[in-house]
Structure 1
């Protein structure tokens, strides 16, 4: 009989390998999200790059940082780890998802302003210092193309790095002091350092183009999109400079509403500001394509939010069909089915995020696209047949009679066998939201109504942003 220690070791090893596999798949999926932005002619090239780069997973990155032999310790303060990973463990029902960021072993977030690598995070929290690598001219990058920075380093002769501020699939982010800040300007900025990979550089340039367009259309900074300051090249890395804000909504939830959510009055305030941001995007013909709590920042007073991370954003009208656009839990059904998409995809993501802000739970914690469709239909009923007829990828989830099949082997739990599902058990979102006592009944009714109108399977019938801004829950009328 195995001892307790051996059983624990094997269980931990199994969990680690499973997490690494999921992280590799997620990294590859993130790379494939670049395909519609960078042009259909390079599809296979990008997929090959995705498979290659997915081998350098976040866990491996953390291990590499810890295993390097010659490291110099430098003191650095205020290196607070943040959380943005959205994997779930052991959940599959509507509104039952608990973000993996609530788990102690979560060490990486695929978002701007996400969590620092485990080595730097633990050192920063426990002993207030960070790891400094040997930054020789031939050793600027790690094996994954990330820039290896150190505290106190001055970028572009102007920005002194104060602390690591996160790491994602596309970049790492640092907090820095602007040594040439003007009078009245904030001296602290956030710098997004794009990985030294050609496809990332190209995506970064497109992000800058969109950020500049949004900023020029909002000179008074009133439209709740993160303020882009400028960009520069540093040691073959494209660097984007942003205003520095306090925390993202994922961190806010973890700190003030873990597993229970925020007060409905706060959700109403944030919803209005999100819809103002969506209206601004619509007027500029821009799709964000990755709205979720991780990509919404709040100020220190927690009264004002701003939409951030436009790394997946794109202009409307010329977008290639892909089933991997938008982070999975916030992915609209038209994306999964392979239908043309537009502004309604961002509205769907906002609806999922608002539910999460109020309940503290993921609304649709699907493990695959197939599983996501199951959860969508459990909440909203059968998908319209017109969507299934036109969907490029519908045949991957429905048979010729439009009957949904759930791909799952009952023994291995792998998604390989197709089992038609004759009846979908329906559980409306309101049944989950209404179970929370202590809120104003009228406001709660209006919130449920707002979610019902947003989370419509047919994107053509989904609530428009102008309608959302005038909805009683948002307007308070």
Structure 2
């Protein structure tokens, strides 16, 4: 199978979830296959192997009748602010330009804090890739090299089907300035784009499969001694078939991309991949303090202390699971003065009073004032967290009453305020909530034409097309 690539990029780590306009790529209702110029939907998909083995659920093919088109708005090159091109900034590149003496640019895919992403064709082997091209600022070049080191380390340890494939790093020079270009496989829409505005009601099995694949990715990363530090829906992408990669690369439509995904049925087969290791942290090795995670998915100890450990990721995973099931963020966050304290208060209102005791050893001096005289944040009558979670899961009939009860008991394990009590990825995978429902008669509901889900602008995306679509 030919290698594909799509880079993920570091975004505003505090607030991109709340300001999707920076990198939104989705649009209104999907066009029918005829209007997209696709004569026939893809009927097969492929999955790269991994040292973890394959799942019992891994398919050999995706029936064409189950694959549906998702219409995603393309990122606009004009959306890159002019100040991003200033001295030590990103290179000014045009579609059709050759970069690095090796890559022909085909489509602009997005931008973030320190890089732009381009769908390119590698002139050496003819494969499609995407380059995450950094600013020339030495600090940002160093960040790119650091991310490359993490990806190479994981490759040495063995690849995994739920981790984005890394293809390497190359140095390019534009107008006398040096930039680093990270190369990744091509991935499709991210989880935010599918969840935020998609009108399709997913079968519970689809939701559970999404959760299991995320947990498998995190289990693998943690086994390798890496804390991801930025797990969120925008960094979790869907694999797509080779036909879709080719379509995105060759399409003359600069307003939308069309991706065909199997997400609408009880036995749907798809693959999710975790990407963007730009602020990852390796345990047992001296690292520069990474940037903080996106606030919406940030664990309390990440705010209150200087400590870093695996439970930080598990809190973020819990927030993603909550969004997968409810399509809402557990705790929204507005970036403003004093917002860390406000964010902790929101946590306490949902999950109960936050004690100081678990954080005493590593607490930040400026955070001690957050706690009241009794060493709690918002100490008072504890909320009915179980009911809050059950109500959220059943609000739009995403889960039935039984599944909602199990979901609440499952997801609350990710939100233990004491990090030492938080569930691990390995243990979470054993939970009965993730057992699939054999009832395949669940009614599939859409607000528009059956089989024509729409995906509208959502949270910041750091990814674009991907290489293959399969199941876990």
Same fold (TM over 0.5): yes
Task: Describe the superposition over 1:330-353 as per-residue Cα deviations: whole angstroms up to 9, x where unpaired.
Answer: 000111111522111111111101
Q: Which residue of 2 aligns with 1:295?
A: 235
**C-alpha distance in 2 between matches for 1:127 and 1:458:** 42
Q: Which residue of 2 aligns with 1:12?
A: none
User: Structure 1 residues 422, 322: closer, same or farther in 2, change over 3 A?
Assistant: farther
For the 8 Å contact 1:364–1:375, the answer to whether it is kept is yes
Q: Which residue of 2 aligns with 1:370?
A: 341
User: Structure 1 residues 290, 373: closer, same or farther in 2, change over 3 A?
Assistant: same
TM-score between both structures, scaled by the size of structure 1: 0.64
State yes or no: 1:330 paired with 2:330: no
Q: Which moved more, 1:241-250 or 1:147-156?
A: 147-156
Q: How far off is 1:454 after superposition?
A: 1.2
- What is the RMSD computed on CA atoms of the aligned residues? 3.3
Q: How far off is 1:149 after superposition?
A: 1.0
Task: Describe the superposition over 1:286-338 as per-residue Cα deviations: whole angstroms up to 9, x where unpaired.
Answer: 11100100001102335111001111111024578979611000000111111
**C-alpha distance in 2 between matches for 1:457 and 1:320:** 26
SS at match of 1:86: helix
**C-alpha distance in 2 between matches for 1:298 and 1:148:** 29
Q: How far off is 1:218 after superposition?
A: 2.4
Q: Which residue of 2 aligns with 1:228?
A: 166
Q: Which residue of 2 aligns with 1:33?
A: none
User: Structure 1 residues 432, 144: closer, same or farther in 2, change over 3 A?
Assistant: farther
State yes or no: 1:279 paired with 2:219: yes
Structure 1 residue runs of 4 or more that deviate by more than 4 Å after TM superposition: 125-133, 260-263, 318-324
Q: Which residue of 2 aligns with 1:157?
A: 101
SS at match of 2:380: coil
SS at match of 2:182: strand
Which of residues 237, 243, 246 is equivalent to 2:179?
Answer: 237
Q: Which residue of 1 aligns with 2:380?
A: 423
User: Structure 1 residues 447, 131: closer, same or farther in 2, change over 3 A?
Assistant: closer
For the 8 Å contact 2:354–2:379, the answer to whether it is kept is no
Q: How far off is 1:206 after superposition?
A: 1.1
Q: 1:40-79 alignment to 2 at 5 Å?
A: none
SS at match of 2:130: strand
**C-alpha distance in 1 between matches for 2:287 and 2:343:** 21
SS at match of 1:150: coil
**C-alpha distance in 2 between matches for 1:238 and 1:440:** 49
User: Structure 1 residues 206, 359: closer, same or farther in 2, change over 3 A?
Assistant: same
User: Structure 1 residues 319, 454: closer, same or farther in 2, change over 3 A?
Assistant: farther
Task: Describe the superposition over 1:431-467 as per-residue Cα deviations: whole angstroms up to 9, x where unpaired.
Answer: 3224343634433332222211111111100011111
User: Structure 1 residues 200, 115: closer, same or farther in 2, change over 3 A?
Assistant: farther
**C-alpha distance in 1 between matches for 2:75 and 2:25:** 16
For the 8 Å contact 1:192–1:240, the answer to whether it is kept is yes
Q: 1:189-200 alignment to 2 at 5 Å?
A: 189-200=129-140
SS at match of 2:92: coil
Q: How far off is 1:360 after superposition?
A: 1.8
For the 8 Å contact 2:116–2:132, the answer to whether it is kept is yes
SS at match of 1:443: helix
Q: How far off is 1:155 after superposition?
A: 2.1
User: Structure 1 residues 446, 194: closer, same or farther in 2, change over 3 A?
Assistant: same
User: Structure 1 residues 296, 127: closer, same or farther in 2, change over 3 A?
Assistant: closer
TM-score between both structures, scaled by the size of structure 2: 0.65
State yes or no: 1:465 paired with 2:407: no
Q: How far off is 1:371 after superposition?
A: 1.5
For the 8 Å contact 2:188–2:239, the answer to whether it is kept is yes
Which of residues 337, 353, 374 is equivalent to 1:401?
Answer: 374
Q: 1:10-49 alignment to 2 at 5 Å?
A: none
Which of residues 233, 256, 260 is equivalent to 2:198?
Answer: 256
**C-alpha distance in 1 between matches for 2:303 and 2:148:** 28
State the structure with bigger RCO (CA 8 A, min sep 6), 1 or 2. 2
SS at match of 2:16: coil
State yes or no: 1:148 paired with 2:92: yes
Greater percentage in helix: 1
User: Structure 1 residues 157, 203: closer, same or farther in 2, change over 3 A?
Assistant: same
**C-alpha distance in 2 between matches for 1:456 and 1:115:** 35
Which of residues 409, 429, 432 is equivalent to 2:392?
Answer: 432
Query: When the two structures are aligned, how many residues end up with a matched partner?
Result: 340
